A = this chain, B = another copy of it.
Amino acid sequence: MKPMDIEKQSFAIIEKELTTDIPPEYKPVVKRVIHTTADFSYETSMMFSDGVIEKALMAIREGTEIVTDTNMAKSGISHKIAEKFGCSLNCYMADEGVAKEAASRETTRAVVSVEKAAKDNPGCIMVVGNAPTALMRIRELYDEGTFAPRLVIGVPVGFVNVVEAKEEIIESGMPYIVARGRKGGSNVAAAIMNALFYMAADDDKEWRRC
């Protein structure tokens, strides 16, 4: 069986096993997350701000910069499609300057990375699969009026501050896609970004069959 056939069959199984009535525009995102995790709890935990899909597809088609909070999420996003749309993929977590500044300020590298994104790419798509502190800093800078990401993908996984940080994004007024609760991760973050890319390339097979 060829990889594309396996994916097609997998999406058919997911479609069959869904138990929630998911709006068609969100379905490709939710299904791709389930495809990545085999976890159907995302059916009910995924939250979307009004009109976020349309805004995300427009941002992609305009070649908006993408900033991730882990190199793992960056690595999981399709470089091929990102390049096709001219969307640069950036992660500042391993930058020496970021590490130094975080150490001297006794904060997380995720916080310093967000500040760097706000400065260098103020209208970027923020992809957060790991660090709740990244989400909290995004919210602060947004409230201060110094950062307005075109989309926040907020799906860190974890047990401390994660649930709360996601609610901060949901209540912020920013366009968001968030997996409520503890679950998420770099793989989920990458899956959401990839689902949006496939939707933006609407001549793409992956989107047509979702």
A71, B106: Cα distance in complex, Å: 31
A71, B79: Cα distance in complex, Å: 12
CB-based contact B160/A9 at 8 Å:
yes
From known contacts A72-B72, A75-B72, A76-B186, infer whether A159 and B39 are also in contact, taking CB-CB under 8 Å. Answer: no
Q: Which residues of B contact A44 (CB under 8 A)?
A: none
A182 located at the interface, meaning its Cβ lies under 8 Å from any Cβ of chain B in the complex:
yes
CB-based contact B183/A39 at 8 Å:
yes
Q: Which residues of B contact A90 (CB under 8 A)?
A: none
Closest to A10 in B: B159
Contact with B along A147-165 (1 / 0, CB 8 A): 0000000000111110000
A187 located at the interface, meaning its Cβ lies under 8 Å from any Cβ of chain B in the complex:
yes
Q: Which residues of B contact A74 (CB under 8 A)?
A: 75
A190 located at the interface, meaning its Cβ lies under 8 Å from any Cβ of chain B in the complex:
yes
A81 located at the interface, meaning its Cβ lies under 8 Å from any Cβ of chain B in the complex:
no
Contact with B along A11-39 (1 / 0, CB 8 A): 00110000000000000000000011111
A71, B95: Cα distance in complex, Å: 20
Q: Which residues of B contact A35 (CB under 8 A)?
A: 158-159
Q: Which residues of B contact A14 (CB under 8 A)?
A: 159
From known contacts A71-B75, A75-B71, infer whether A6 and B160 are also in contact, taking CB-CB under 8 Å. Answer: yes
Q: Which residues of B contact A6 (CB under 8 A)?
A: 158, 160-161
A49 located at the interface, meaning its Cβ lies under 8 Å from any Cβ of chain B in the complex:
no
CB distance from A37 to the nearest CB of B (A): 7
Q: Which residues of B contact A13 (CB under 8 A)?
A: 159-160
Closest to A158 in B: B10
